[in-house]
Amino acid sequence: MTDTDRSALDRLNAAAPLLFLALWSSSYIGTRVGLRHMSPLLFVAVRMTFAAGLLLAFMLLRRRPWGMRPAAWMHCAVAGVLTQAILLMTAHVAMVHTEAAPIALIQTLNPLLSAFLAWPLLGEKLRPAQIAGLLLGFAGVLLILGRAALSSRTEFAELLGATAGIMTLVGGTLYYRRFCREVPPMSGATVQALAAASVCALSAWALETPRSDWAFGALASIGWNAVVVTIGGMGLYFMMLSRGSAARATVNFYLVPGVTSVLTWFLLGERLTPLTLVGLAVSSVGCWLVGRRAAAV
């Protein structure tokens, strides 16, 4: 690797957290627009199929070995289903009746639980300040779930589903860090996307009556979420995960709820309740504590 290549890689590493934050937060805007035109599971299936097709075409046109052993194919497929398919399906179903900010807040469980579980499973140390952060983060999420339970059974059930999706993201994050860190990035991303697309397509066929008007808004949101978020955003996520601790990589999620709240308020007119704002603040402080200490580990 030349000095120029190494310098460019260093700049990408430094910019990756902010790029990931911008891309991941933008996915809520694209999803909200897309769900006006399509049923949720169909939206996810088309999005993932498009992303997987682009990645597969790139790999085939490159005409190079994938550089993966048979076991690595299985590990990447499992990681793809856990970190993308289940996460996206549960979140999209929840967003049919729930605003984006509470779902984004629930996704802060990813850095909290990843930091907690990485200690016994991966040997990544958890310090006292991180423990305090975990408790604050859980408190913020419980505020949102409690509000939903009091206001709407449908919203509460869907937020619980989104919470289950985050649990699979946490499991997939730790699984990836344990089994997939040495896999070539493009090869691994392609296998993950193919596996996720297959599960999403099967779920859309089996679990819902698909609907779509195939309007421009639907196609634009699919294109944005497939290319920019799934390929770009998740690529950055796994790059950070390969080069740092699970706690440090996942803590980038802690800013997503605040950025998403501002974007959906400004662009889509979604309102924030006082309790949601309190939950955002409490959970963000907790995640910041986790991330601040994680950076020093």
What tens digit of pLDDT does each residue of 50-59 get?
Answer: 999 999 999 9
Given a cut of 70, is residue 136 above it in pLDDT? yes
Higher pLDDT, 233 or 30: 30
Please state the rounded mean pLDDT for residues 277-291.
69
**Would the pLDDT of 93 be above 70?**
yes
In this structure, is the dihedral angle defined by the CA atoms of residues 142, 143, 149 and 152, taken in order, positive or negative? negative
Residue-wise pLDDT for 255-280, tens only, equals 677 777 777 777 777 776 676 677 66
- The tens digit of pLDDT for each residue in 113-128 reads 776 777 777 666 667 7
Tell me the C-alpha distance between 257 and 112, whole Å.
Answer: 14
**pLDDT value at residue 297:** 44
pLDDT digits over 191-204, tens only? 999 999 999 999 99
Judged by DSSP in three states, 47 sits in: helix
**Contact predicate 12/4, CB 8 Å:** no
Distance of CA 235 to the CA centre of its chain: 11
User: pLDDT tens digits, residue range 169-178?
Assistant: 888 988 988 8
Residue-averaged pLDDT of the chain = 80
For residues 54 and 181, the model is more confident at 54
High-pLDDT (> 90) share of the chain, %: 32
| pLDDT in the model for residue 296 | 45
